[in-house]
């Protein structure tokens, strides 16, 4: 799977995504991540990509031309007639979730557009964007961090990225439930013991306990998810 990120800060996303699981997946060719610097495509000799908004107001807007030309560069590189999905990272978008990550992981190419300042000229958004996506109801300085969050989540759903296939299927949100508690050595720490069922070796009882714990944890911490779980039973 290929991720293409249109950004003013390519080093930020490249360094942030070039480690751990994603970094290893890129090394073996399961994923590829390329950051395209929007400033490289401005026609302004000072590399300026923003200007004052028509109608007044606080802040600056990213201009349409450099964003569009950066997009055209990616399209030329892809050499495909099929238009890829372009995800504009914005608090005005639909809130990202696990099912969206799973669905987006089916794509061959995804383009992420990272905004800055007060946003981007609406005309280029109308021209290229297919998905408006948010990671939550709060404002960030730019779209890079949000794009990195989404790319990390989507990547985990791509076959071959995780070394253990099961780990991607049993973690939180995979069945509208939060994960059960986890324990490792030692068996007792600061007076707290590992639940006996996990030491029993009885796999059926362990799975039953884990499901019960997931249900109780979801009911307590995420009642919205718990209601969704109940509705699907």
- Tens digits of residue pLDDT in 125-155: 999 999 999 999 998 999 999 999 999 999 9
Q: Is the pLDDT of residue 181 over 50?
A: yes
pLDDT at res. 80:
80
Question: What are 94-105's pLDDT values in tens digits?
Answer: 999 999 999 999
pLDDT at res. 81:
78
Mean pLDDT, residues 4-8 taken together: 98
Question: 60 Cβ partners below 8 Å, 6+ apart?
Answer: 50, 51, 52, 53, 117, 118
Domain 2-155 and domain 170-231, same fold? Reply is: no
119 pLDDT band (50/70/90 cuts)?
Answer: very high
Architecture of the 170-231 domain: Orthogonal Bundle (1.10)
Query: Given this structure, which CATH class describes domain 2-155?
Result: alpha beta
> How do the domains of the chain map onto residue ranges?
2-155, 170-231
Interior CA angle at 4 toward 7 and 166, to 5°? 120
How many CB atoms are located within 10 Å of the residue 199 CB? Answer: 12
């Amino acid at each position: 799977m290929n991720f293409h990120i249109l950004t003013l800060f390519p080093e930020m996303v490249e360094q942030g995504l070039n480690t751990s699981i994603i970094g290893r997946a890129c090394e073996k060719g399961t994923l590829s991540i390329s950051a395209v610097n929007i400033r490289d495509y401005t026609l302004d000799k000072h590399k300026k990509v923003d200007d004052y908004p028509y109608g007044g107001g606080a802040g600056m807007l990213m201009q349409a031309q450099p964003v569009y030309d950066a997009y055209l560069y990616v399209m030329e590189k892809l050499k495909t007639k099929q238009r890829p999905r372009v995800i504009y990272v914005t608090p005005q978008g639909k809130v990202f979730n696990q099912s969206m990550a799973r669905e987006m992981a089916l794509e061959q190419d995804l383009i992420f557009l990272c905004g800055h300042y007060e946003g981007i000229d609406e005309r280029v958004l109308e021209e290229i964007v297919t998905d408006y996506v948010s990671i939550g109801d709060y404002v960030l300085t730019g779209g890079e961090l949000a794009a990195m969050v989404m790319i990390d989540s989507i990547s985990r759903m791509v076959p071959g990225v995780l070394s253990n296939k099961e780990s991607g299927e049993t973690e939180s949100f995979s069945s509208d439930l939060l994960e059960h508690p986890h324990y490792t050595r030692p068996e007792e720490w600061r007076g707290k013991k590992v639940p006996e069922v996990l030491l029993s070796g009885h796999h059926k009882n362990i799975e039953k306990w884990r499901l019960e714990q997931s249900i109780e944890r979801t009911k307590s911490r995420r009642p919205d998810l718990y209601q969704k779980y109940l509705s699907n039973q």
